[in-house]
Amino acid sequence: MTALIFDCDGVLADTERYGHLPAFNATFEQFGLPAHWSEREYGEKLRIGGGKERMASLFDDPAFAGSVRGDRTELLLTWHQAKTAAFRKLVAEGRVPPRPGIARIIEAALARGWTVAVASTSAEASVRAVLERAVGADTARRVPVFAGDIVPAKKPDPAIYRLTVARLGLDPADTLVVEDSRNGLLAATGAGLRCLVTVNEYTRDEDFTGAVLVVSELGDPGRPPIEVLANRSAAAPGDYLTLDDLRACLEEPR
């Protein structure tokens, strides 16, 4: 049976720019922390997998480390919980737009009997909020989520994808991952899975060698045609991707 595994951030929705970045900065302000990330600085932080891990990088600055008192582990946990709450509020307010094609593809895949899952190393509560907003509550209930600290290592480590495949009993040869970043691509291919990449403004210039297909978005009818940035698959995309295109990503190119 064909299976699709979606990353969350940058894949299901434009979460980084419109959700995570403002939530991080709101949390810094809430706790009076001497930090504020610009869009450029946050783009650099995205190389670090995991929200708590990005926050932990603040301590790399001696000035920041010297200005904060308390147990570092407990502080990071408290800050990250507050950041997750701020992020979920932004999602609930409709300020984090779903990416084109997500609802269409997921609903069509489920209707065809495919397995659909979400695998992310972001906080589980955040991932579930984004998924529900992107596809609706009824559809979201049919999509298992593997997220957060369920694995000991964050992407680019392949642990989250290996766990998802094992828990759902998937055949790697029939499983396609949809990612948006090089770290995600490395995690997917490290687990022996083929990967389709939908880039965003933060990741467009990353190295996606190893992806079977790289596109600007999944696309939807009525939208401008998608841009195909690389195609090493048997797919022949038109103005937007279809289930047949995704299935062709699992086949050897002719």
Of 65, 237, 46, 221, nearest to 229 (Cα)?
237
Whether residue 7 lies in the annotated active site: yes
Which segments of 57-212 does DSSP mark as H helices, in order? Answer: 62-67, 72-92, 102-111, 124-135, 137-140, 159-168, 182-190
Of 88, 141, 150, nearest to 119 (Cα)?
150
- Among 9, 14, 220, 245, which one carries the catalytic annotation? 9
Give the Cα separation of 130 and 62 in Å (integer): 35
Cis bond upstream, residue 156 (ω within 30):
yes
Give the Cα separation of 60 and 161 in Å (integer): 30
Give the Cα separation of 21 and 159 in Å (integer): 25
Whether residue 9 lies in the annotated active site: yes
Catalytic machinery residues: 7, 9
